[in-house]
Amino acid sequence: MESALILLAGIAVVVTGILVLRLHAFLALIAAAMVVATLTSPNALSTYAAGRKMSAAQTKTLLEQPVGERVAREFGNTCGKVGLLIVLAAVIGKCLMQSGAADRIVRSALHCFGEPRAPVAFLGTGFLLGIAVFEAVFYLLMPIGKAMRLRTGKNYALYIMTIIAGTSMAHSLVPPSPGPLIIAHELNIDLGTSMIAGIGLGLFTITTGLIYALWLNRRIEIPLRDSPDSSLADLKQLAELDDAQLPPLWLALTPILLPILLIGANSFQKITNHGQSRILLQQLGDPNVALLFAAVAAVYMLARQKKQRIRELATDLQSSLAAGGLMLLIIAGGGAFGGVLQQTGIGDQIQAWSAHYSVAVLPMAFLLTVLLRTAQGSATVSMITTASMLAPMALPTTLGFHPVYLALAIGCGSKPFPWMNDAGFWVISKMSGMTVGETIKLFSCLITTMALVGILLLMLCARLFPMV
């Protein structure tokens, strides 16, 4: 009960700070993290340390840490995980826009597929890229969505939602994304079976996402606003360039395809686990290294288009670094809030509550993952936690159906309901220029709808096609 009350206190601080007091999101998140860390008891911290298998010395250090240091540690952990990705992706996004590369890609896509098929192209591209390079997909595709809005003059909400729909579901359903990969290992599921089933369910859920996006797009108009990475005036000026002034398509695609190929090759070698180039691919396929190469290619492209030397592009790059720094502050603030929430023991409390209710396994796994994800913000953490708890029952003889259904139910449960303690929430909000309310409608409600359709379909298939 104590952890639940602390969670409610943290939620109240965030909601009041952002929606009532109109504080900057970073300040509201850090304030909430401080409140949560202050209210967390030593007993809760000891339990948290035991669950993480910390040594006696590490546990003592954690208990003796001041509140501010615990918040700063979680803030730093988030920066360590995504800091380079965010800054490098901000540089790539800026170069894609300023060089005209994003507009070149959009013009080529419109020429090949036509405007009516653009949302489907975003949906499919997001799903394919989300399997291997989830962290970078939003940064790579959002500038193209903005350029598409400038070119067509409408449907910005639709473009954003289709990018989100494809990317989000792949991240939670299809290995080698980290969450599904670990779940497959925990539940002893063949990786090929997990991939095929995840892709199959993913196609149904993203179709639901497309239907939702088309429905909401007719009822809401999202304007193209200034965002930290680019101003509206600059975007309009770039959209008026002649085709001859834009980079060739192969060069425009290089900063996008290069990290996809490098990270994808590394993911493939992890699955096959053989080959003489394994060590090289591990180095080049690291997301930070892959995006560094992509950023170098993007800066070269910008210099080539502007006919400037690299050192003369300092002004252009400074604005992208400032934008990346602002996004990193907000995302790391959300990470600090989610991190100290985990220290309260809210995850263990939710697991204890679930043990008192006799419900079907699939909806139980789904709801447990939903509660964990909503409480602490991380989809991957919620998936891993639920999978480890339910692993003992992941046998066909116990379940009455193939364990892959259980894995996918956990994946669907990691989607609802992203809000202010989720780093992805702020990435989408700030890069798209949407308000908090608009982000909830176009992001949170969208993937929650897809997740609900996914779990209902899983329950039906497990009944009709148990695969045992």
Long-range contacts of 313-320 (CB under 8 A, 24+ apart): 316/94, 316/95, 316/98, 317/91, 317/94, 319/94, 320/90, 320/91, 320/93, 320/94, 320/95, 320/229
Residue 210 lies in a domain: yes
- Residue 207: pLDDT over 90: yes
Residue 179 lies in a domain: yes
- Residue 309: pLDDT over 90: no
Residue 241 lies in a domain: yes
Instruction: Determine the Cα–Cα distance for residues 105 and 150; give it in Å rounded to an integer.
Output: 13
Instruction: Determine the Cα–Cα distance for residues 390 and 93; give it in Å rounded to an integer.
Output: 41
Find all residues with CB under 8 Å of 15, minimum gap 6, and list them: 420
Rg (CA), the chain: 22
By residue range, what is the domain housing residue 301? Answer: 83-328
Instruction: Determine the Cα–Cα distance for residues 45 and 60; give it in Å rounded to an integer.
Output: 10
Residue 228 lies in a domain: yes
Residue 198 lies in a domain: yes
- For 351, phi and psi rounded to 5 degrees? -60, -40
| The predicted structure's pLDDT at residue 230 | 60
| The predicted structure's pLDDT at residue 357 | 44
Higher confidence at residue 212 or residue 253? 212
| The predicted structure's pLDDT at residue 89 | 73
- Residue 151: pLDDT over 90: no
Residue 29 lies in a domain: no
- Residue 214: pLDDT over 90: yes
Residue 13 lies in a domain: no
Other C-beta atoms lying within 10 Å of the C-beta of residue 398: 11
- Please write the tens of the pLDDT for every residue from 91-106: 877 787 778 776 777 6
| The predicted structure's pLDDT at residue 233 | 66
- Please write the tens of the pLDDT for every residue from 341-396: 778 876 666 556 555 443 478 898 898 888 878 876 767 767 766 776 677 677 78
Q: What is the mean pLDDT of residues 174-181?
A: 71
Residue 40 lies in a domain: no
| The predicted structure's pLDDT at residue 161 | 92
Instruction: Determine the Cα–Cα distance for residues 330 and 56; give it in Å rounded to an integer.
Output: 33
| The predicted structure's pLDDT at residue 405 | 92
Instruction: Determine the Cα–Cα distance for residues 414 and 375; give it in Å rounded to an integer.
Output: 11
- For 252, phi and psi rounded to 5 degrees? -65, -35
Q: How many structural domains is the chain composed of?
A: 1
% of the chain beyond a pLDDT of 70 = 81
